[in-house]
Structure 1
Amino acid sequence: MIQGLPDSKFWRGRRVLLTGHTGFKGAWLLFWLEAMGARVTGCSLAPEQPEALFSHLHAPERLAAEIVDIRNPEELNTLIARAEPEIVFHLAAQSLVRRGYSDPHGTFATNVSGTNNLLQALAQTNTARAIVVTTTDKVYRNANDGRAFVETDPLGGHDPYSASKAACEMVVDGWRSRFAEAGCAIATARAGNVIGGGDWAEDRLIPDAVKAWSSGHALQVRRPDATRPWQHVLEPLRGYLVLAEKLASGAETAPAYNFGPGTDSATVRKVLSLAAAEFADAKTDFAITEDGPVEARALALDPGLAETDLGIRSLWDLDRTVTRTARWYRAFLDGRPARDLCEADCDTYLEDVRLASMAGIR
């Protein structure tokens, strides 16, 4: 077993519940889990976009039994009673900042009440031994000073999405002792800004850039100098998997972990300059303005706890993360199958983890 790498033997035949499996991160995680032989039950709304990554990686027949709204406790109870999961990854969420402003009720209903519905159903079924609830790097009370947040920093949120995710953390805290009494460990995972091939969601930097550039339009950018902890999607997913293994083993863990690139936060402008190099005639209009919903100017995470406890450290620097992501989209638009591209990224990434582990980098 290689430190910092998910153990395929642990996952083979394991009953896993994955909420949000039709989303961008969920589709990648489902792909990885099934490659290791896990028996995964999904729980999600149908994909929003016709080009959604899930539709390219997984058979549509599975959706018939797995389209469940976590805001509906009856449907959720039925699904979980049938699945009897041992390990749970809760990724289902309303995950867009701007949509949080346009639909605050739906955002809080999904991210807060939906999480509570899930945990209540899991408590009733009582088969889970490890639960990983994903929130966001935006759960912290942010003074925009650029300081990297640690897990013990105060939670907050200056917009409905961020506040709903901070409230989600409180819901998890409220259930923690109940699950501990039943022999189930639970932790939250706070990941930095995730990019990678196959994300087509609205109001996200790389998907918006790809859509604009591939159609011959200029990308309009409001806040080019905002900084974020960008990372490839495989980085936090590795963290989630290793964290779940640790929780299931009964080892002592923290209640929450940051997953991000450490001090390697970068501006929107820098990310776009790297991505544009992979697209001919890519044009970007940088209009520095504060118009639009309030968003954090600076955001950074300290992932030191994940490195100490889990052996997890980001491997791909910003250049490789953005370039690999842009090339995924470029190849996909040129007709290469998404499954082939995802397999190539996974193979390369896992080999890099192995090499880093042997070199003592993790």
Structure 2
Amino acid sequence: MVRGRDHQPDAGTGYAELARATYTRSGKPWRWWRPLIALAITGAGMLLGQTVLLVAFLVIDLAGASRVETWDPEVVLDRIVALDATDVPVLIVTLGGLACLIPSIYLGLAVAGMRPIGHIGSVALRLRWRWMLSLLPVALASLVLSLGITILVSMVAVAGAGGAPDAEVFTPQWTPVGTLVPALLVIVLLVPFQAAAEEYLFRGLFVQTLAAWLPARRWSMALVVVVTTLLFVAGHVYDVWGLLDVGVFGLAAVWLTLRTGGLEAAISLHVVNNVVVFSLQATGIFGSTEGSGEGSLVGVLATLISTIAYCWVVAVMARRAGLRSTSPWPSPRGVAPVPLPMPGVWAPVQVPSQPVR
């Protein structure tokens, strides 16, 4: 693009700077502490939601338990940490508690005065539902590719080892239908909100907050990507390979958010992954309905290949659809708005020069 004093500045603010841009366009001075208010209310809202659900869990589930030891706090904690995909009360507490992030974030933005609060969704100041729904089949294909690579490599490894004893890894322990159906119902209803809530927090609120505090430089955006990904990884209790797998997903999610100007692509991938994995885990096909938290080099490579493929397809679809990845107004950092003539009165338009960054 040609730059110079006679050329209009780039029209468009990226997703990361939307929080500051939407506020300063109202003519009010930006204050660094506003995101802190939003973060505090978000944390308080999630804590309140989790507390209410946990109390309900203790009252309803444990009050009817026949074993006295189930009242032991260690037993309760072990159940929550194990995250058995067929343990409906635990699913409601964990998934529902994370889902509380979405209303908490919107409330925090509203109280902090960072309106319109829709900037957390995309540069369109809302979630672009049609775009997000169109990506669900692509996300499913990506997950199938990842699972296919993992299973294929594992089968080859088992065959190379002579078939035993590693073959036991593929022996399912099927869940009874009476236990599976309610678990699947909870998974389908709550997991999409849990996955979306994590995107709202890590790729939404955290990204926009850090970008609002840092200068508009390339290094600052790289710092935003690294920090938010590390925070996302820190929120999971896995082994080294499992954390690397989560890190690959986190990097892909933040890239998708910045590339498409919204959370939709990351939400689609996250929702499909979690719904399918939780559902498969609930069936007992992996031999256990509990989350192991263990990863592998094969799993990391499969995730890397499948997420790269997903990112490439999303980029192609966004380009063909003409998807806007920036806002229709210029960045507020050092760029004065272009003055317009009054109605009925002719006046020359003064075009500001491109700021040096």
TM-score when normalising by structure 1: 0.25
From the two aligned structures, give the one with the greater helix fraction: 2
From the two aligned structures, give the one with the greater strand fraction: 1
Select the structure with the greater relative contact order (CA < 8 A; seq sep ≥ 6): 2
TM-score when normalising by structure 2: 0.25
